[in-house]
């Protein structure tokens, strides 16, 4: 991403050097926004008419300084019911620097409270989607070209703010592809307003199905446009296969939801759904929450990022920003430290990866940057011998305390010591049966049970791998206390907490054995001595350890979303795929009300929070806070699709052509 290049007039008004145009008129910006976008979209009346727990979506081209968002936010709080929610979706190809926002916001004392929290949450300039949450108002900020951004958006837009620099200044934005996406994302009650009445814009909106009216512009501007969508409704077929209903989010308002699994994935899912008015019951087979993979006393909040775009890097980078923001907001009674985190190189492959980062600008320095061994020694407080990637907002947290804090602070209803052994769909809903023969009926079910999902009939086909691992806790002394930041290599070590130094973690592939062994302790100690020679003494004392099981998918991405019956999916698409006709098939069927949030592996502290928000948005019909291409990459049915693709390739390889 390139930052916006600004010039400031003597009166403080910012101008884009690139586009030679102002962002707003000095002293009139808020008034112009209110007239052009709020009044012409009839938002005060529409906000006031919202039903209890309703959701409203505004989409904007050109975030700029965020003034339109601030005005809409203020209007929503003033007129909408207190149970309603707003998502404001906006794109920006050239985001402003945080320091420029701080300077600009000084001119708007009426928005002081809002601008303070907005600039604190403002994300690094990483291309992609960034979800910023302000109680019941969300900002989905898309750093990308407008056409690309909206092509990746799953939403049902209620009102459009067509802003951005004038078509004569910025013709690249006002393209047919943008108007095509507006058509895809609109419905019969969607409205639009724009400051311009240029022929290019008028024709584009009319062609997309909007009935337009020319009205007086703001101030000295003669004309502007407003309109309502009158075109054909329904989603334009999405290019990914198999086709899915998810590119246009549809609400599932069946209220009673069972969330099974009280680790970090389950608790965050329960909370996000509870925020949206669902009645949640959280089940777990253990006597309390966080007894599985989320039960360690310390865990690193990090992600391993590539120097260039990959699906995994894009997802984990966006998730890491969310997780770091969540961690920094934790109260002091939840053990954590925003200490910074380093990933040291430890072999030639890692050295090569670091060099690629040095040659790339994909990952912004605000998120992660390369540091020398000397710089990292100063930052971490201990002598390191290698360079690495420094994450200034990284750190550690107690996963167990985090889970307990979330469960208690959000007053989640819990059924502990309850092992659910079967879930069955019937006409009245989903029946849950426990090992002690108790029964429950729910409208929907969310499985956050890691590899235990294989015990249920509808998810037994999922390719979940198990990796057991053990941490080692040493009695802290001397040099241990000098460690100021988290250090990760093929092992990790945390700053001292409760007079113990935590080292982890071993990997026992395809194992569910949680036995704590002295051999694993010695392996952790031996590996850490190799990576950071001066940190450990010759007579370290092991005071405790803990073993748990990670659950991974073969591609190391979570499984998140609705479940399709595997046999029906294969039956529907096998022949059409072989004949290259799969794109003509109707959407793949899903089991109504069954969802999964699984396979976070060793990255759950990074990925769980964004995943839970994505799941809740899917269920509630809100704009998805992740690009559709990434949503499909997390689709839990993707392995059935890949098996069919392999089957097709095998047929071609054997016979030279597909069966007719």
How far apart CA 300 and CA 485 sit, in angstroms, is: 10
Burial of 359 (0-12, 13-18, 19+ CB in 10 A): exposed
634 φ/ψ sector (left φ>0, alpha ψ -120 to 50, else beta):
alpha
Does 246 reside within a domain? no
pLDDT digit string (tens) for 403-459?
999 999 999 999 999 999 999 999 999 999 999 999 999 999 999 999 999 999 999
In a domain, 375, yes or no: yes
Residue-level length of the chain:
660
Residue 342 maps to which CATH number? 3.30.9.10
The answer to whether residues 352 and 480 belong to one domain is yes
Residues contacting 450, CB < 8 A, separation 6+: 261, 263, 292, 293, 464, 549, 551, 598, 599
What's the pLDDT score for residue 107? 87
Residues 531 and 559 in one domain: no
Residue 234: is its pLDDT beyond 80? Answer: no
Each residue of 482-514: pLDDT tens digit?
Answer: 999 999 998 899 999 999 999 989 999 999 999
Q: Are residues 548 and 560 in the same domain?
A: no
What CA–CA distance (Å, rounded) separates 12 from 565?
59
> Which among 605, 504, 527 is positioned nearest to 265, based on CA atoms?
605
Whether 576 and 540 map to the same domain: the answer is no
Peptide bond into 577 cis (omega under 30): no
Q: How much is the average pLDDT of 271-279?
A: 95
> What pLDDT was estimated at residue 241?
54
Residue 644 has pLDDT above 80, yes or no: yes
Last residue of a domain, one of 552, 577, 598: 552
pLDDT digit string, tens, across residues 1-36: 889 888 888 877 888 888 878 777 777 889 999 999
C-alpha torsion angle, residues 629, 634, 640, 646 (rounded to 10): 60
Residues 30 and 163 in one domain: yes
**Is there a single domain that holds both residue 353 and residue 414?**
no
Per the listing, tokens 């009158």 go with 230
Q: What mean pLDDT comes out for the span 87-100?
A: 95
> From CA 445, how far away is CA 461, in angstroms rounded?
18
Ramachandran quadrant class, 430 (left: phi over 0; alpha: psi -120 to 50; beta: rest): beta
Residues 283, 37: Cα–Cα separation, whole Å = 46
The predicted-structure confidence for 173-198, as pLDDT tens digits, reads as follows: 888 999 999 999 999 999 999 999 89
Q: Quickly list DSSP for 432-466.
A: EEETTS-EEEESEEEE--GGGGGGSGGGTTS--EE
Into how many domains does the chain fold? 3
Q: Clarify whether residues 31 and 175 are in a common domain.
A: yes
Say if residue 46 is in the same domain as residue 80: yes
Mean pLDDT for the chain?
Answer: 91
Give the pLDDT band of residue 233 (cuts 50, 70, 90): low
Residue 651 has pLDDT above 70, yes or no: no
pLDDT of residue 79: 98
CATH number at residue 616: 3.50.50.60
Question: N- to C-terminal Cα distance for the chain?
Answer: 47
* Residue 247 in domain: no
User: What is the distance, to the nearest Å, from the Cα of residue 428 to the centroid of all Cα atoms in its chain?
Assistant: 33
Same domain for 416 and 446, yes or no, is yes
481-to-122, 392, 628 alpha-carbon distances in Å? 34, 20, 45
Which has the higher per-residue pLDDT, 237 or 132? 132
Residue 247 has pLDDT above 50, yes or no: no
Same domain, 477 and 438: no
The stretch 98-122 carries a mean pLDDT of 93
From 213, 229, 245, give the residue that closes a domain: 229
Q: What is the pLDDT of residue 581?
A: 81
In a domain, 311, yes or no: no
Domain end residue (candidates: 524, 552, 580): 552
> Could you tell me if 200 and 124 lie in one domain?
yes
Quick check: 239 pLDDT over 50? no
Q: Is residue 660 part of a domain?
A: no
On whether residue 361 sits in a domain, the answer given is yes
| 605, part of any domain | yes
Instruction: With CA atoms as reference, report the closest residue to 459 among 247, 260, 249.
Output: 260
pTM of the shown model: 0.94
580, part of any domain: yes
List, in sequence order, the alpha helices (H) in 106-172: 112-121, 146-151
CATH of the domain at 60: 3.40.50.150
Q: How far apart are CA 260 and CA 418, in angstroms?
A: 10
Find tokens 């069946």 and name the residue. Answer: 254
Mean pLDDT on 335-348: 94
Domain that holds residue 429: 256-291+402-464+555-655
Residues 160 and 207 reside in one and the same domain: yes
- Mean pLDDT of the 633-637 span: 92
Look at residue 627 and tell me whether its pLDDT is greater than 90. yes
Element (H, E) at 319: helix 311-328
> What is the token pair recorded at 422?
């079967």
Quick check: bond before 242 cis, omega within 30? Answer: yes
């Amino acid at each position: 991403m390139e930052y916006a290049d600004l010039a400031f007039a003597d009166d403080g008004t910012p101008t884009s050097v690139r586009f030679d145009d102002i962002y707003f008129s000095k002293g009139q910006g808020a008034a112009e926004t209110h007239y052009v976008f709020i009044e012409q979209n009839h938002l005060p009346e529409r906000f006031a008419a919202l039903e209890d727990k309703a959701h409203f979506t505004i989409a904007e081209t050109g975030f700029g300084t965020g003034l339109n968002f601030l005005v809409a936010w203020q209007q929503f709080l003033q007129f909408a019911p207190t149970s309603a929610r707003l998502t404001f979706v906006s794109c920006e190809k050239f985001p402003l620097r945080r320091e420029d926002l701080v300077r600009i916001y000084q001119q708007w004392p009426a928005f002081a409270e809002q601008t303070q929290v907005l600039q604190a949450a403002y994300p690094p300039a990483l291309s992609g989607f960034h979800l910023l949450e302000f109680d019941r108002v969300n900002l989905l900020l898309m750093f990308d070209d407008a056409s690309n951004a909206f092509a990746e958006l799953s939403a049902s837009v209620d009102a459009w703010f067509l802003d951005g620099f004038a078509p004569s200044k910025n013709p690249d934005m006002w393209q047919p592809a943008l108007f095509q996406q507006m058509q895809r994302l609109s419905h019969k009650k969607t409205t639009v307003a724009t400051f311009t009445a240029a022929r290019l814009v008028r024709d584009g909106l009319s062609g997309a199905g909007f009935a337009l009216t020319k009205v007086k512009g703001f101030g000295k501007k003669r004309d502007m446009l407003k309109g309502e969508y009158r075109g054909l409704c329904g989603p334009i077929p999405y290019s990914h296969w198999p086709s899915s209903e998810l590119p246009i989010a549809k609400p599932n308002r069946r209220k009673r939801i069972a969330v099974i699994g009280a680790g970090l994935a389950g608790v965050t899912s329960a909370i996000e759904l509870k925020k949206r008015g669902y009645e949640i019951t959280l089940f777990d087979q253990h006597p309390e929450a966080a007894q599985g993979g989320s039960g360690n006393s310390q865990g690193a909040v990090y992600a391993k990022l590539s120097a260039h775009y990959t699906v995994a890097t894009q997802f984990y980078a966006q998730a890491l920003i969310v997780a770091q923001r969540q961690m920094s907001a934790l109260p002091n009674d939840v053990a954590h430290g925003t200490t910074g985190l380093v990933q040291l190189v430890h072999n030639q492959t890692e050295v090569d990866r670091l060099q690629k980062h040095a040659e790339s600008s994909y990952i912004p320095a605000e998120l992660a940057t390369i540091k020398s061994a000397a710089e990292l020694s100063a930052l971490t407080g201990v002598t390191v011998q290698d360079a690495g990637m420094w994450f200034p907002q990284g750190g550690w947290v107690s996963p167990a305390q985090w889970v307990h804090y979330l469960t208690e602070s959000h007053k989640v209803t819990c059924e502990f010591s309850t092992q659910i052994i079967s879930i069955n769909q019937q006409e009245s809903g989903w029946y849950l049966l426990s090992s002690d023969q108790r029964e429950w009926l729910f409208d929907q079910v969310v499985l956050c049970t890691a590899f235990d999902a294989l015990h249920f009939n509808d998810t037994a086909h999922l390719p979940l791998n198990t990796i057991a691992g053990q941490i080692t806790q040493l009695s802290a002394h001397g040099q241990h206390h000098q460690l100021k930041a988290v250090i990760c290599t093929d092992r990790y070590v945390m700053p001292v907490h409760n007079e113990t130094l935590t080292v982890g973690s071993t990997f026992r592939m395809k194992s569910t054995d949680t036995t704590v062994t002295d051999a694993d302790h010695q392996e952790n100690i031996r590996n850490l001595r190799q990576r950071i020679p001066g940190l450990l003494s010759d007579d370290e004392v092991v005071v405790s350890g803990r073993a748990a099981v990670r659950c991974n998918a073969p591609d190391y991405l979570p499984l998140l979303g609705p479940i399709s019956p595997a046999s029906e999916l294969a039956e529907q698409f096998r022949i059409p795929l072989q004949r290259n006709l799969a794109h003509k098939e109707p959407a793949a069927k899903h089991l109504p009300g069954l969802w999964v949030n699984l396979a976070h592996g060793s990255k759950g502290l990074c990925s769980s929070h964004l995943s839970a928000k994505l799941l809740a948005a899917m269920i509630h019909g809100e704009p998805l806070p992740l690009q559709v291409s990434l949503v499909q990459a997390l689709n839990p049915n993707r392995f059935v699709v890949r098996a069919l693709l392999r089957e097709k390739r095998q047929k071609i390889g054997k016979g030279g052509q597909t069966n007719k």
